[in-house]
Copies of this chain bind each other. A is one copy, B any other.
Amino acid sequence: MAAAPVWSVDPRTGKQREQVAVEATAEEVDTTVTAAHAVRAALADRTVRAAFLRSAADGLDAARDHLVEAADAETALGPVRLTGELARTTYQLRAFAGIVDEGAFLDVIINHPDATATPPVPDLRRYKVSLGVVAVYSASNFPFAFSVAGGDTASALAAGNPVVVKAHPDHPGLSELVASVLRRAAARHGIPAGVIGLVHGFEAGLELIRHPLVAAAGFTGSVRGGRALFDAAAARPVPIPFHGELGSLNPVLVTEAAAAERGGEIGTGLAGSMTMGVGQFCVKPGLVLVPADAAGDGLLKSLTDAVSDTDAGVLLDHRMRDNFVAGVAERGGLPGVESPVTPGAGGEHTVSAGFLTVPAGRLAEEGAYDLLLEECFGPVTVVVRYADRDEATAVLSRLPGNLTATVHVSAEEAAGQGLGAEILAELTPLAGRVLVNGWPTGVAVAPAQHHGGPYPATTSTSTSVGGTAIERWLRPVAYQGVPEAMLPAELRDENPLGLPRRYDGVLER
């Protein structure tokens, strides 16, 4: 049987551009994973890893114009957004190089013998080691930042793990280009090319998650695809950690006082956030609770004006376009749902932004309206009009887990210790990131970031963005009674590497 071709497709026309690869067979997946596994020792030295990450960033920056052009041809995300996304990606690689240098992620804890403990404590020294080969499933909507050289790859390499990437079919050509930049950077530091494997094809993705030498996986994509891979990871003879980001509604609550104070501004801000990147962000606000009063009406007026002004846009592929058109039509067809600006098909290859409204009462109980509680990828949001706080709370209590939850409050609420804190406490169980008076789109790369949340937002309690993402790819090991000469340098008393650590209960920095 001939190998299935992998085509690069232009989303602006739906036409095939060129064949860039073939889908990997089971044997090819095995070869790729085995090659990655053989490279582990080359990543053992933290100095080498940090240098590799910086060279990778330099290589990507040097190839910027070429990469942005290649990405735009396959994703239609436009050169401005893509240039920014590439800068974010190289910033991220360098940030992880800094994290590798600092070494706090090793989480060194040293306990000397303590006869007063029950039972007595022997000499114990603990730190974290890499897991092995990490499988990374690329996202469609971030061809740089959540793909071949994205956060999962950067954090997995930083932790000392070789990576095998399953390319997303929406940008296979770019994936090959980026992988070759990473491999050239690796070669500069004596790291074999196997450190970055790349496979194409749906079946190859399943083979990958089932491969005995794959030790963990990261995924960014749909609930359906992610759950299938999560299930496969859990069903293995040796189950492995599967860190999947599957879907999120990203609820926003606008209080009555906030709507009264600055409803117009909030409406305009919401329009910008929900249409940004043609609504293709995982943190797009997909459900917005707005008071069913005059101030809420004012908010909707400004939302209507701003969304009406939005140009039609091209989605990442035509399947997504079809799903969007069908999804908004089905939602809009529910009795009582209105479409102040109707979302749907634009030109032959584009979609138009819009939004729907529904009374909060419709969502109080399980039923047909639950469709409105499912993510709809693309430039649409659902505005839920609530009569009072109890109605708003009832809707929030019915939501699945989210990446983000946002509240817009008035200046008085923000200053009042009681009410504001109470609202924050109500939103915290819903999400991994909680915002006040902001918009969830835009996920900063920072140590305090958390990009994850209760299922289906993520399948684990970890983050895919920010410094702590490195924790995904490590496991602790404790050494007991090991003579000094046998200890790794990281665990020696004299601390030759100057690592932050917890030493007999004292936090040393």
Contact = CB atoms under 8 A, between A and B. Distances in A.
Contact of A507 (B104, B231, B433): B104
A148 to B, nearest CB: 19
B104 A476 contact: no
A124 B438 CA distance: 12
B414 A481 contact: no
A434 B481 CA distance: 9
Interface residues of A, number: 86
A50 to B, nearest CB: 17
Interface string A415-447: 111001101100010011111111000101111
Interface stretch (A135-143, A164-172, A255-263, A459-467): A459-467
A431 B479 CA distance: 10
A117 B129 contact: no
Nearest to A233: B234
A370 interface: no
B500 A121 contact: no
Given A111-B448, A119-B445, A459-B239, A481 B433 contact: no
A294 interface: no
A117 B445 contact: yes
A423 B416 CA distance: 61
Nearest to A87: B118
A125 interface: yes
Given A432-B475, A480-B435, A481-B435, A118 B507 contact: no
Contacts of A417: 485
Residue from A114, A235, A450 having most chain B Cβ neighbours under 10 A? A450
Given A91-B117, A241-B461, A448 B478 contact: yes
Contacts of A414: 483, 485-486
A476 B455 contact: no
Contacts of A241: 460-461
A483 B507 CA distance: 30
A78 to B, nearest CB: 16
Interface string A488-509: 1000000000001010010101
Integer count of this chain's copies in the complex: 2
Interface string A81-124: 00010011001000000000000100101110010011111101
Contacts of A435: 479-482
A492 to B, nearest CB: 11
Contacts of A450: 126, 476-478
Contact of A434 (B84, B104, B479, B502): B479
A34 interface: no
A477 B432 contact: yes
A507 B474 CA distance: 21
A449 interface: yes
Interface string A71-86: 0000000000000100
Given A104-B507, A486-B420, A446 B481 contact: no
Given A117-B446, A445-B117, A445-B119, A433 B91 contact: no
A118 B238 CA distance: 39
17 contacts: A84-B118, A91-B118, A117-B445, A121-B445, A124-B444, A126-B468, A230-B239, A234-B239, A409-B486, A416-B485, A420-B485, A420-B486, A436-B479, A436-B483, A452-B475, A452-B476, A454-B475
Ranked 6 nearest A-B pairs via Cβ = A234-B234, A420-B486, A450-B478, A124-B448, A461-B475, A91-B118
Interface of A: 84, 87-88, 91, 104, 107, 109-111, 114, 117-122, 124-126, 129, 131, 230-231, 234-235, 238-239, 241, 400-401, 409, 414-417, 420-421, 423-424, 428, 431-438, 442, 444-450, 452, 454-456, 459-461, 463, 466-468, 474-483, 485-488, 500, 502, 505, 507, 509
Given A421-B488, A507-B507, 15 more contacts: A91-B118, A104-B507, A107-B468, A117-B446, A119-B444, A126-B450, A230-B239, A238-B400, A238-B401, A420-B485, A421-B485, A423-B486, A433-B479, A436-B481, A438-B481
